[in-house]
Amino acid sequence: MKKNIDHTDPANTMNLTSGNGGETHQDAGADTQALTTQQGVVIADNQNSLKAGSRGPTLLEDFVLREKINHFDHERIPERIVHARGSAAHGYFELTESLADYTTAKILSETNKQTPLFTRISTVAGSKGSKDTPRDVRGFAVKIYTEEGNWDIVGNNMPIFFIQDAMKFPDLVHAVKPEPDRGFPQAASAHDTFWDFVSLSPETMHNVIWLMSDRALPRSLRMIEGFGIHSYRLINKDGNSTFVRFHWKPVLGVQSTTWDEAVKISGADPDYHRRDLFESINNGDFPEWEFGVQLFSEAEAEQFPFDHLDATKLIPEEMVPVKIVGKMVLNRYPENFFAETEQVAFCPSHLPPGIDFSNDPLLQGRLFSYLDTQLSRLGSPNFAQIPINAPKCPFANMQRDGHMQMQVPKGRVAYEPQSLDPNMPRESAKRGFKSFAEPLDDGVKGRIRAEKFADHYSQPRMFYLSQTPPEQAHIASAYAFELGKVDTPHVRSRTLSHLRHIDEDLASRVAKALGMELPAAATAAAPVQEMATSAALQTIGRTPNSLQGRLIGILVAQGSKKSEIEKYKQAAHAQGACVKIVAPGREVVLDDGTRIQSAERIAGAPSVLFDAVVSIIMPEQAKKLAKDSATLDWFTDAYVHCKAIAYCGATDKHILSKLPIEKDAFITPLADVNAFIEHAKSRLWEREPKVRDLA
């Protein structure tokens, strides 16, 4: 720790002067780059517009003002209709096991090469300015700049989707967005239109139960799985096809918050996930995922008790294991959020030779929709020329002109076949993209779904029965909360009628929490199958017993013992955790005279921001903090969120003893640092029924 905090202001060395009105001017001098207009004209005064006299009107001839205001007025572009709020990072993909037997794609056949990529993770329902922590699906999109062209794997943190056919996508989004007559709720599914739509669309039941689970409340973007959702095809050198589903598995494991934490985090730090990603990369704790594939043949697919072309169905890992063949590491945050994170354009239709599409009707619609939306968002079919979207391999085509054309194509030829320029690009039958030569059936053209698509309840039932008891309680409580926000009685009843097919106990728990009677079960379009449970679907059950990637908050105040702080910091760092110091103010003097700067004031850093907490304060400071509501909430919330707490004697005497906190195994004296470190690796879920009324 530093003995002194450096308060030196660098602005004092930046040629500061004051103008007539006391405004601050900073002159570039001889050694600093001068501020210019877009045309390169050096600007003499960036503080005042050109006026006819000191109190006269502003003159129209002020081209510096007009250019600056004009650009400012047009800084924003239309936000994404869905996935508007996202965070992203640069990194690389590395294949560790070749899939050359299955595909000609170099990115999946040539090992031990690092290929650059850009990954964007986002919420779905909220606007660009909404919070990071709503109950929501998270988009998981990866753009890999392969040497054969860009490959966009555009998926979610859930392996399935709400609907089976792209025809229903506008309806789903209109239902979950803020209701058009009132403009709320923002970034929330707890309202009538969403539940009206899903309760009339049984195909949504599988994704809805995932949405009600802990998967919808991730602890960190570094701790979510990514799924390609759809079945794709891999094509090998002989033209043979193997179906594939893509998976991203976080090295830190799947971890989530509780609903109460998510609500409180959104108030304390709406940018919680974005800040966490930024800080982890800045600290050198690079987020990492294993890349896996589920491979299966057409014959194997025919034996599944579901249709793999149905995007509302997952393929259990016990049925088709996930084969880990590579990894993704994110190691660089964007240098400019707008230019990269906001302007990046992902399209499922972007893939290299050796990978092909399946006939999944939702995927087929996405192939059109994603490309189409870039025209309205980015303003031009030339969006691929924006640096973040441009391929890093050689590219050449005869597409010309258009809004925002950044290239200067040369020559007279912009067509083919042609004979005027032998150097112009031509097609390559050997190296080019080939679609799989799929045999077509003799079916009749029509608007109809496959018969196997009719089973809407078997997989939601499998998902629910696969969860641990705390997770099942969280799911039931989530349904109760969401339906408790629904004003229309028949919509609540209709939803309960679907839950009876998923699990009678679940339906009863939700009905009891709502004070409702159970309605008759909905009519099922297909019999409900009893599928084997899958531990891979759990969240709490799969959370690693580790401090890697987690954050510990240490509360200190005037006179706190530096030796104790150092002991806990060293123990946490040794286990891969980060530590943030919290104090009543931004600066505090410790017992040895060291003045340190806290990461946050306690009023702005509630314990919901940390995975475990420590208190190291002296008696006089403890007496003061015992009268502070933010401090009392700091300990109470840590307790009710089942976290580990380490306390000093003064904290125990003046704070904990006054609170409704039962000293269980996860609440330890300061002297027992080893016990605290071990408990901080997980949560004491047995505490939850004592502190919260779960459905």
Phi-psi label, residue 379: left if phi above 0, alpha if psi -120 to 50, beta otherwise: left
Angle subtended at Cα 92 by Cα 91 and Cα 94, rounded to the nearest 5 degrees: 155
Residue 402 near residue 414 (C-beta atoms within 8 A): no
Can you read off the two tokens belonging to residue 311? Answer: 């995007």
User: In terms of C-beta density within 10 A (0-12 exposed, 13-18 middle, 19 or more buried), how is residue 498 classed?
Assistant: buried
**Tokens 């239309």 belong to which residue?**
78
User: In terms of C-beta density within 10 A (0-12 exposed, 13-18 middle, 19 or more buried), how is residue 362 classed?
Assistant: buried
d(C-alpha 683, C-alpha 690), whole Å: 14
Which amino acid is it at 127? S
Which amino acid is it at 553? G
Angle subtended at Cα 144 by Cα 143 and Cα 149, rounded to the nearest 5 degrees: 105
CA 541 distance to own-chain centroid: 21
Cis status, amide bond into 353, omega within 30 of 0: no
Residue 640 near residue 663 (C-beta atoms within 8 A): no
Phi-psi label, residue 679: left if phi above 0, alpha if psi -120 to 50, beta otherwise: alpha
- Catalytic residue positions, numbered: 83, 156
The pair phi, psi for residue 487, each rounded to 5°, is: -85, -25
Closest CA to 640 of 617, 656, 660: 660
Q: What is the length of the chain?
A: 695
Q: Is the dihedral of CA 479, 480, 481, 485 positive or negative?
A: positive
d(C-alpha 389, C-alpha 405), whole Å: 14
d(C-alpha 123, C-alpha 512), whole Å: 31
C-alpha torsion 616→622→625→626, nearest 10: 120
Residues whose CB is less than 8 angstroms from the CB of residue 448 and which lie 6 or more positions away in sequence, other chains included: none
* Beta pairing partners, 218: 256
